[in-house]
Structure 1
Amino acid sequence: MTTSVAPPSRDRLPSLTGLRTIAALMVFSFHIYAVAIFASPTVNKWMSHSASQGGVGVTFFFILSGFLLTWTARKDDPARKFWRRRAVKIIPNHLVTWVLAFVFLSLSGLTLTGSFGGIGLDSLPNLFMIQDWFPRAGVFFSMNIPSWSLGCEAFFYLLFPVTLWAVRRVRPQLLWPTAVLLVGLVWLMPVLANTFFHGGPLVPGLPVSEDRMWFVYTLPPVRMLEFVLGIVLALIVESGRWPRIGLWPATALALAGYIGSSYLPYLFGLVAGAVIPLALLIPTVAVADLQGKSSPWRGKTMVWLGNVSFAFYMVHQLVIRWVHYALGATRSWDTPQAIAVTALILAISLLAATVLYYAVEMPLVRLLSRSRRTPPAAPLTAAPAPEAEVASRSLTLQR
């Protein structure tokens, strides 16, 4: 059976905003695990399945981005206006954190892949968000590491107007087969990486070569499969073809996908392992909001945290590196002390994200996202939610 939401509403979808909090914490947890703050082998073994799949959070953000941008698309909205709104959303936070990363790396000399060489090949592509096109970890994971995902998002945004135009021409009865095809292509990417890339230098701290990691995880055309999947899912909901899936079963399936992906071969666990559960979760949560059903993700605190999640995503890795460097760059702690250090990092990250959100992100979004010369374009069917609350961002990795 399908769930009808026709005529489709463009009301806010607060539960999806709240879920962004969980996705951002996935990335945070992975980065805590990656720097080995906990000395206990037992704790680290447990974290290898409970905190190692930060990439799942990025997959969530990429699917969510396509879903929300489609759901709030404006009729006859010129591409240049769309691009301006997206640029205002991501570039200021990126520039602030790039400068902070440059200061830290200049002082510490520490990077993920070796010594910091200042302005050069490793830093300039990152500044211009083109680092994902270079198959070297020293480039795509340079500077503020999570910013790699912005290179993908920038590519998605550039192509979104024509992509949405094309996908909207898919007949409604073919939307589900299209979604299945996209999922299949996501699963095909690790197969192609293992077949056509023959390894080389490993990404520091990860059991995968740079070229395979680049192809499966950071190459924008490959990651766009998830973004387009989000577009297709939004159109399925809009057409009233979404099946009746309970919110709690979808949530449980997503949790199982997160944990289960850690048991897959590494390249498959990065993205493919959780793509199906996330593709079921996001529309199900959206439908729950549209139908006014109970949702644990809709509370004021969760929504507020979701609103600052992009800023949190952008600052948390810098805070981890600063604090770890200040307390001992290669140090690990016994479990009680490690929990205290993690709590300290989380608190500082949330404080820094709040400052970035209210001092940089929101003021510039309000100031620059709309043209002063013309009134806002009419929405597709009803007024879309405010940009700051419905726009997606991006994790990456640490992404």
Structure 2
Amino acid sequence: MGVVRTGEIKALTGLRIVAALWVVLFHFRPLIWEASPRLKEDLAPLLNAGAQGVDLFFILSGFVLTWNYLDRMGTHFSGRATLHFLWLRLSRVWPVYLVTMHLAAAWIIFTLHVGATPSADVEKLTAISYVRQLFMVQLWFEPFFDGTSWDGPAWSISAEWLAYLLFGGIILVIFRMARVTRARMLIFLAFVAALPPTLLLLASGHFYTPWSWLPRIVAQFVAGALACAAVRRLQIGRRGQHISGIAAVLLTAAMVGILYYYDANPVAGMIDPGGLVDVLFMPLVVTLAIGVGTLPALLSTRLLVYGGQISFSLYMVHEIVHTSWNWAVQEYQIDLPKSVQKIVVVGLIVAAVAGAIGLYHGVEEPARRWMRRMVDFRDVKHDKHTGPPGAEGGRLASIDHARDTRPPQSSARAG
């Protein structure tokens, strides 16, 4: 085995806010295009693929959970350890999930009693739907995720919850694979594991097909777990770390290039070409995890790390802000000049970020500490974390410090 590593990987924390903003801008596209047609010409290929940010989250979840739990849960199955893990996952995602779920419900009810434009989601507010939303299983009964959740983005949390329930078995397999498999082979297996959504896209031309959410979460989550097992086995010197940092930049450029290429050269029958970039997410996460300088350094800055910490709250609250404005425009027939529309779009994004900050400090962190104390019986105020979905809030030392203090090696090797 290579050097056992633990701790927060700050570049991956920073990557979370990038993924979250990608999703936010994807949902805000109609407003952005209306306010600035020029931006549509320039950014449409990039923002039209913003839904793929969810797949990036799935890979990050598998990676980070494996990073933190491979040694703790991989050696043998323990019902107590599994229940402890699931409770910690609940403490991370459930409080914000519950608040935004009820905010979305309150908003739907508000539109029913105010104005003449009730939300189309009123019919979804049923007792059965409430129970399914409450226990985060609403997606499990539907072939498509659209319309499954009162707060639209919550579908992916329902998918993540399924992955968490499977994690106790997944980690046992990953641990044993990591003991007998070289890092290079583990990276190859991670790449193969991430392929099913792309293969289905190439076969049908559609990224969103019946039950396609299931291979998305399972494949990307397992790919992230295998990638983490590979990184934990890697022994890499400073030169290799710098090369990895450069590779992360090149991978990012390749993703953008692919999106613009297929926009300029559409393939007949392929409706969702943006899904092709998913195959580069796993290599990107690996290079950011082991790389230094360039993009890893940028994502590790204090501002982006903080952004990563509030990214879950932003992901969960932004669509409420978006749909509220859309309702107001329809209800009051708001017609603004382009110059004012630009200000409104920026204001809505700022409002979503402000709401995320409020949720993070007022709900997410206090509730997480409260729920953790129920099982840990200790103060967890200063826990480090990478931000949900898919991150553990344990008391961890930073890997970045370990990188700085480890003696440099002349070359990287996998084994």
Amino acid at match of 2:303: T
Q: Select which of 68, 91, 95 maps to 2:98.
A: 95
Q: By how many angstroms is 1:187 displaced?
A: 2.0
Deviations 1:237-291 (A, max 9, x none): 1111787643243234224325624736234533xx12232111111111126x9
Secondary structure of the residue aligned to 2:298 is: coil
For CA contacts below 8 A with separation 6 or more, give which structure has more relative contact order: 1
Q: Select which of 341, 345, 350 maps to 1:347.
A: 350
Indicate conservation of the 8 Å contact 2:190/2:282, yes or no. no
Secondary structure of the residue aligned to 2:217 is: helix
Structure with higher Rg: it is 2
Secondary structure of the residue aligned to 1:225 is: helix
Counterpart of 2:84?
81
What CA distance in whole angstroms lies between the structure 2 residues aligned with 1:278 and 1:65? 12
Residue pairs, 1:317-336, within 5 angstroms: 317-328=319-330, 334-336=337-339
Amino acid at match of 2:84: K
1:157/1:386 CA distance change after superposition, 3 Å: farther
1:40/1:367 CA distance change after superposition, 3 Å: closer
Deviations 1:45-88 (A, max 9, x none): 43421311122211111111111111111644500110000011
1:220/1:185 CA distance change after superposition, 3 Å: closer
1:258/1:90 CA distance change after superposition, 3 Å: farther
1:365/1:122 CA distance change after superposition, 3 Å: closer
Indicate conservation of the 8 Å contact 1:126/1:148, yes or no. no
Residue pairs, 1:307-386, within 5 angstroms: 307-328=309-330, 334-370=337-373, 372=375
Counterpart of 2:78?
none
1:52/1:127 CA distance change after superposition, 3 Å: farther
Secondary structure of the residue aligned to 1:392 is: coil
Counterpart of 2:24?
28
Q: Does 1:228 align with 2:222?
A: yes
Counterpart of 2:411?
none
Indicate conservation of the 8 Å contact 1:187/1:268, yes or no. no
What CA distance in whole angstroms lies between the structure 1 residues aligned with 2:374 and 2:201? 43
Amino acid at match of 2:282: A
Amino acid at match of 1:320: H
Percent identity (aligned) = 24
Amino acid at match of 1:64: L
1:137/1:235 CA distance change after superposition, 3 Å: closer
1:184/1:350 CA distance change after superposition, 3 Å: closer
Q: Select which of 170, 178, 181 maps to 1:172.
A: 181
What CA distance in whole angstroms lies between the structure 1 residues aligned with 2:330 and 2:9? 43
What CA distance in whole angstroms lies between the structure 2 residues aligned with 1:16 and 1:235? 16
Instruction: Please identify which structure carries the higher helix content.
Output: 2
Q: By how many angstroms is 1:94 displaced?
A: 0.8
Structure-1-length-normalised TM-score: 0.79
Structure-2-length-normalised TM-score: 0.76
Q: By how many angstroms is 1:124 displaced?
A: 4.8
Indicate conservation of the 8 Å contact 2:11/2:297, yes or no. yes
Any stretches of 5+ residues in structure 2 without a counterpart? 74-80, 391-415
Q: By how many angstroms is 1:341 displaced?
A: 1.1
Q: By how many angstroms is 1:369 displaced?
A: 2.0
Task: State the Cα RMSD in Å.
Answer: 3.3
Counterpart of 2:123?
117
